[in-house]
Every structure is written in structure tokens, then in C-alpha cells.
Chain A
Amino acid sequence: MCLAIPGKIISITDQLDETFRKGKVSFSGITREVNLCMVPDAQPGDYVLVHVGVAISKVDEEEAQKVFSYLEMMGEVEELKTPEPIQ
């Protein structure tokens, strides 16, 4: 449950103040809204490790892609495919 999944920031969608930022992150085509509070210098185009909806660190593109294909092979990216909040 502690796995973090790498994805690419597509856009910043919300910036309420200096620390509160949200963005669209693509996980190999699956897009989710991700909180970016804890990676203040991450920008669109950057790759981040995302855990339960929060980006916890930046990673480089090559690492991100390798990790993602590994997680996909292990069946660990299913949690991303669950529908957006129920009801």
C-alpha cells in the first residue's frame, strides 16, 4: 500500500495560494487530479511519484517510465483505474 506510482504532470489546474497546488497527472494515459503541495518546484512536463493522490517526489523521465511498466506488469496500477469518487 506504500507504493507510489510515477506520472507526468500535464497541467496545473488550481493554485489557491503559495503551497496549495493541484494538477492533472497522466499515468500512461489514465489522468487523475493530483495534489502538488509537497513538490513545489514541479512543473508541467515533470514526472512525479504519486501516492494516494499526493505527489511526494520528482523523478526523471526514464526512471518514471521504467517504474510504471514494472508496476503495470505486477498489476499494481489497478487503483488508478477505479472510478472517480463514487456517487
Chain B
Amino acid sequence: MKYLTEYRNPELAEQFFEEIKRITTRPWTLMEICGGQTHSLVKNGLLEMLPDFITMVHGPGCPVCVTSISVIDEAIWLAEQPNVILCSFGDMLRVPGSKKSLLEAKAEGADIRILYSPLEAVQLAAENPEKQVVFFAVGFETTAPANALSVVHAHKQGLNNYSILASHVLVPPAMEAILGDEENRIDGFLAAGHVCAIMGLEEYFPVAEKYHCPIVVTGFEPVDLLQGILMTVKQLEAGIYKVENQYTRAVQREGNKLAKDTIDEVFVTGDRIWRGIGRIPQSGYEVNEAYRNFNARVKFNITIEPAEENKECISGDIMKGLKKPFQCPNFGTKCKPEHPLGAPMVSSEGACAAYYHYAGSKMLQD
């Protein structure tokens, strides 16, 4: 238990571990949605300290991992157009497209910039009126308000050289896709804290009700995760399925209304293809008609042939919780963070990269 001393509150963590052990009478499989939570569970060694009855599987909550190969190809195509500056969060650059990654396109001369915020891309557009600036707008509900805001600001400033390539994904439809899969074995969910800080709790009630599945909105620190697991197991052991909020420090039931209004101003909900999982109905945001001039797909009339996923990558089974990274024959051999076959090995929030790095550090300690 040497890791425990590093936690914010080791005594509390110990209590949660004990309580989880005490109340668990049979096997339960829980999925944490958020890649930040996966990273925290793995890096802090929580998985090994949980009782054997509790299996944690790692959900699709890493935007880097679920952005489809065709969208990566779209971003690369845009970056290679003359006079275009493509801006992106840094995590997206190493994700393999069908032929290459954005990083390789950059090395070949495409003007690709890594930015911390989409608002910096608007500034870049204002400073470079002779260039077309495109922001690669990936992310879950947490990131959607900032990306939407960038469009509102560009519109307010009268910029006609700014657009976004929207590839937003939404948590509740993904949960439903996982729960509705005939192979599903998830008994309860830890929902993503910062997603709910924006969206609130309401949209999770029908999911819990329909699938008889407890959902606990959970933070990302070890004690949060342990408490979230405890709350979920308590419900499962009692045979109930409610939406509960562990992360009351940051999440209000109604979410952030201004942020939701900004999303509604700019985006419309539509189907989205998730890497490794496939098409999920109504699971993403696209720029709406009113702001079509800021939609890079419309502006550049992108027509990219849909590309096939790398068949050697089993990321779909991993993100649906059907397999663990260690069960992939290519894990750590043909597929490593330096040369990933699929996206979950790219981001530190991807389950495969988290397992890869964690196993590495453990081997060093041994």
C-alpha cells in the first residue's frame, strides 16, 4: 500500500478500500468513462488494491482515442491545402490516420500549430488575415463550450478566415451504445466529473432507468474514484440504480447554463463515428446552419473517402470493456506509444498507453 501515502488523504482512501471490501459480496464490473480517471486509476495503482470481485474496465472517454480515422484524414487534408494553418491540441498530432499522422504531415511541410486553446486560434486568424485558420475541434462536452465560444468570437470580430473541423463526441449516447451491446457486461458507471460540470446530471437519469444501471458522477483523484466505486457498489449490492453525484465540489445538478447555451448557439447534435466502435446515433456535435461559414467541412467542401481502421488494433473491444490491453497480441510489441497501431496507445489517457507506462514503471521498481 505504499502508494497510499501519496494521496491527498491517505486515511480516507484506506477507509474507502476497507468499506468496498466489506460490502462487496459478488463480482461487479464497473466502467469509468473518462480517460483522466483511467490514467489516475492506473498510475496510482488503485486497480491492484481493489478487491478481486471488483473489475474496472476503461471506457471511451478519451477524445484522442475515439476520433475516427476519417476525421484524422480530414484534418491532414486541410493542413495540406495551400494557405491553411491547421491548429490542434497537441495530443492529436501522433494519432495515426489512414496514411500518416498530423505530425508526419507537419514534418512534410504542412503548417500545423499546437495550441492550448481554440481562442488562440481565433487570435491567430485575426493576426493573419491572408491565411485560413482551421481549429481541429475535438473533445467531449467539457471542451465543446470553448470550441463553440471560439466560433462566436470569430463571428463577433467579423473574421471570415476562421473555421473549425468539429469532431465532438458525447458521453450519454456512448454509454447507451455500450449498455445496449449484446456482449455488455458493465454493471455500473463512474460518469466523468468535468463533463458533468458543464452538462449537469439530468441526461443520465433516463440511462440509469432504462438499463437498470447505477451511474455515479465522479472526480478524478484517487479518493474521488474510490468513493465513486464505493457508492456504485453500494447501489449494486442493494439492487438499486440511481444517478448520484460524488463530485459535488465541482458539479451542480443543472451544470453550467451559460456553457450549455454557448454549445446550443453553435452546434447541432448528429450521428458520429467513433474509432473502434462505429456509428453511434446522435452522439456528436457539428456546427449548425447559422454558423455554416465557420464549418471547415462546408467551407473547404471536404470529400474524403472513408478509411478503414487498422484491423490489428482491438481498441473497440477495449473501449467497450470486452478486453483489457494486455489481451491484445500487439500490446507492447508491434504497438507502443512511439509507434501506435491505434489511438488508445497514443494519449496518456488511453487505456493502452496508461497500462503500457504503468507496467513499465512497475518493472523498473521490481
Please indicate whether A and B come from the same complex rather than being unrelated chains. yes
Name the A residues within 8 Å of B220 (CB-CB): 3
A34 to B192, CA, bound (A): 23
A85 to B220, CA, bound (A): 29
**Which of A3, A59, A80 has the most chain B CB atoms inside 10 A of its CB?**
A3
The count of chain B contact residues (Cβ–Cβ below 8 Å) is 50
**Which of B39, B64, B146, B149 has the most chain A CB atoms inside 10 A of its CB?**
B146
Q: Would you list which residues of chain B between 94 and 145 have a CB under 8 Å from chain A?
A: 113-120, 123-124, 139-140, 142-143, 145
Name the A residues within 8 Å of B116 (CB-CB): 32, 52-53, 79-80, 82
B143 and A52 contacting across the interface, CB-CB below 8 Å: yes
Q: Would you list which residues of chain A between 1 and 20 have a CB under 8 Å from chain B?
A: 1-4, 16, 19-20
Residues of B within 8 A of A (CB): 6, 8, 34-36, 39-40, 43, 61-64, 89-91, 113-120, 123-124, 139-140, 142-143, 145-146, 149, 153, 156, 192, 194-195, 197-198, 220-221, 249-250, 252, 256, 258-259, 262, 347, 349
28 contacts between A and B (CB under 8 A): A1-B63, A1-B64, A1-B89, A1-B349, A2-B61, A2-B63, A4-B197, A4-B250, A19-B258, A20-B156, A38-B256, A38-B259, A38-B262, A49-B194, A51-B143, A51-B194, A52-B146, A53-B119, A53-B146, A54-B145, A56-B142, A56-B198, A57-B197, A59-B250, A79-B116, A85-B113, A85-B124, A86-B114
Residues of A within 8 A of B (CB): 1-4, 16, 19-20, 32, 35, 37-38, 40, 49, 51-54, 56-57, 59, 63, 66-67, 70, 73-74, 76, 79-80, 82, 84-87
